[in-house]
Amino acid sequence: MRSANEKYGSYRWHACQSIGCREVSVFITESQHWGWIIGGGMDERIYDEIMSEVYESTIINLTIIFLSIVASFYIIYKFRNQFQQEVSSWSDNVGNGLLHHTMDESKNDEYTTVRKSLNKVTAKLSHSIQEIKLAIDSQIETTNSVSNRTENTRDIIKSHVAETSRTAESINEFSLSVKEISDNIHQTASLADNTLSLASAAQTTVSAMATESESLKAQFRQVDEEINSNNNSVQQIHSALEVIGSIAEQTNLLALNAAIEAARAGDQGRGFAVVADEVRALASRTQNSTTEISSFLEELVANSQSITTMVGDMNQTCEQVFSHSYDVDEALNKLIESAKTSNQYSESIAAAAEQQTMIAIDAAKAINSISQKASEIEGHSESIRETMKAQQSNTAMLEDVIAQLNVNQQYR
């Protein structure tokens, strides 16, 4: 196919080789973006035939090379069979742990140097194994000693960790107890402050009550004086009423006499009789009013006496209140002083408790840090113990392997 901006041409030629002639297609394409593009290809069936022929040719060549190598090894083996048997025997003995087996160095051939070298290797290996056995024995003894010490150290560290944990718990409990005591002391100090405030307020109230009692006593005295003054006035009024009553009685008698004289006078005294009757009636009403006023004044005097008695009682009560107020004021002064002293002690104890709390917290932190470090050391000790166990196991395995090597007998 061909697009609007592309041009292409297709050409064919025949390529002939030893395996035959094959047809190959080539095309040239002009692209707007890439310029001229050259490509080619062949039929897949033809490609498969070529690859099959190449594979067969490669197999044949590899077979020829392999047969050549086998022939070379066969020739070498033919010439070295005897020496290889000696080496095989030496290898078997060495493999079985017979390290003092030596090869015959009396043969004078091209392998004599090799035999001597192998004998030297065997001798050095035997000597090295002897030294390894000694080192393993020393290593076992050292490992056992280190393992025992590690076990003891681990037990000591575990005990130390347990003791440290218990100590940390005790210090934490002590810190909590001290903090609780400090809180209680703060509450006590707060209550003492409240008590001090209440006592001060009560003292102020008692002082005001004492002042009011003094003022009330003065007022009662004034009331008593006023009542006495009223009683005196009542007595004066009573005396005046007695005089008025006496005058009214005399007026009544005079009016009666005047009425009698008017009756004697007849018609001429009739007007005077009317006046006399009115005067008698007025005198009678005056006497009645005087009697009523006297009764009222007597009741007023009785009430005044009752009031005087009550005022006296109230005055005595005020005296008692004033005395008790003084006693309460003294008690409140002592209470305030005690509250101030208690507050000072509470503040001192609270400060000391807070200081002890901080010390306990710091000690708890230090103990916890020590406990953590001890736990880490315990973990390291456990790791060392496991490592020593593995080392003992490996040493035992190595000892078993060395034990299988016979370095005390010689074979020829």
pLDDT digits (tens, 9 = 90+) for 270-321: 676 777 777 777 777 777 777 777 777 777 777 777 777 777 777 677 666 6
Which pLDDT score, from 0 to 100, does residue 330 have?
74
Best mean pLDDT range from 16-25, 36-45, 174-183, 287-296: 287-296
Mean pLDDT of the chain: 67
Q: Average pLDDT, stretch 54-69?
A: 67
Looking at the fold, whether 59 and 160 belong to one and the same domain comes out as: no
Q: State how beta strands 35-42 and 20-31 pair.
A: antiparallel
* Claim to verify: residue 354 and residue 257 sit in the same structural domain: yes
Task: Examine the domain organization and report whether 153 and 72 are in the same domain.
Answer: no
Q: Say yes or no to pLDDT of 403 above 70.
A: no
**C-alpha span between 370 and 374 (Å, rounded):** 6
Distant-in-sequence, close-in-space partners of 325: CB < 8 Å, separation ≥ 6: 206, 207, 209, 210, 213
Which residues, listed in sequence order, are joined to residue 14 by a DSSP beta bridge? 23
- What is the model's pLDDT at position 100? 59
- Return the closest-CA partner of residue 398 out of 175, 220, 137, 60: 137
Residues 111, 58 share a domain? yes
134 occurs within a structural domain:
no
- pLDDT one-digit tens code per residue, 344-369: 766 777 777 677 777 777 777 777 77
Distance from C-alpha of 232 to C-alpha of 224, rounded to nearest angstrom: 12
Residues spanned by the domain of 189:
146-401
Strand order in the sheet with 7-17: 7-17, 20-31, 35-42
Residues 53 and 48: their CA atoms lie apart, in Å, by: 9
Count CB-CB contacts under 10 A for residue 95: 8
Is residue 140, in this structure, part of any structural domain at all?
no
pTM of model > 0.85: no
Q: Are residues 224 and 276 in the same domain?
A: yes
**Cβ neighbours of 182 (radius 10 Å):** 19
* Residue 21, beta-bridge partner list: 16
For residues 318 and 203, state if they share a domain.
yes
Are 122 and 101 within 8 A, CB to CB? yes
- Give pLDDT tens digits for 165-220: 777 777 777 777 767 776 776 777 677 677 767 767 766 776 776 676 677 667 76
Confidence of residue 402 (pLDDT cuts 50, 70, 90): low
C-beta of residue 391 within 8 angstroms of C-beta of residue 399: no
Residue pLDDT, tens place only, 93-130: 666 656 556 666 666 666 667 666 767 776 776 676 67
Q: Are residues 120 and 167 in the same domain?
A: no
Q: Are residues 223 and 370 in the same domain?
A: yes
Residue 53 amino acid letter: E
Split at pLDDT 50, 70, 90, the class of 89 is low
Q: Between 27 and 239, whose confidence is greater?
A: 239
High-pLDDT (> 70) share of the chain, %: 47
Cβ 358 vs Cβ 158: under 8 Å: no
In this structure, is residue 410 part of a structural domain?
no
* Within a domain: 2: no
Q: Which residue has the tokens 């005055």?
A: 315
Going by pLDDT thresholds of 50, 70 and 90, the confidence category of residue 14 is very low
Whether residue 323 is found in the same domain as residue 379: yes
Residues 12 and 161 in one domain: no
Q: Please tell me which residue, 296 or 26, carries the higher pLDDT value.
A: 296
Domain count, the chain: 2
- In this prediction, residue 358 carries a pLDDT of 77
CA of 259: how far to CAs of 37, 264, 306, 320, in Å?
Answer: 180, 9, 48, 68
pLDDT of residue 274: 74
In a domain, 132, yes or no: no
> Residue 213 and residue 340: Cα distance in Å, rounded?
29
Does one domain contain both 122 and 211? no
Do the beta carbons of residue 153 and residue 381 sit within 8 Å?
A: yes
Mean pLDDT computed over 375-389: 70
Pair 287, 245: CB distance under 8 Å:
yes
Q: What is the pLDDT of residue 190?
A: 73
Q: What is the CATH number of the domain that holds 347?
A: 1.10.287.950
User: Do both 112 and 176 map to the same domain?
Assistant: no
CA distance 54 to 18: 12
What pLDDT is attached to residue 71?
60
At 131, list the tokens: 């030294």
Q: Predicted confidence band at 5 (pLDDT cuts at 50, 70, 90)?
A: very low
pLDDT-based confidence at 230, cuts 50/70/90?
confident
Confidence of residue 36 (pLDDT cuts 50, 70, 90): low
Find residue 39's DSSP bridge partners: 27
DSSP 352-407: HHHHHHHHHHHHHHHHHHHHHHHHHHHHHHHHHHHHHHHHHHHHHHHHHHHHTSB-
CA angle (336, 340, 341) in 5-degree steps: 120
**Residue 239 falls within a domain, yes or no?**
yes
User: Taking 60 as the threshold, does the pLDDT of residue 262 lie above it?
Assistant: yes
- Looking at per-residue pLDDT, the higher value among 244 and 321 belongs to 244
Confidence at residue 160, expressed as pLDDT on a 0 to 100 scale = 67
Supply the pLDDT for residue 218.
74
Higher pLDDT residue, 373 or 44? 373
- Cα Dmax for the chain: 221
* Residue 287 near residue 249 (C-beta atoms within 8 A): yes
Q: Are 338 and 192 in contact (CB under 8 A)?
A: no
Indicate whether 406 belongs to any domain: no
For 169, the token pair is 């718990």
Give the bridge partners for 408, in sequence order: none
Is residue 407 one of the residues assigned to a domain? no
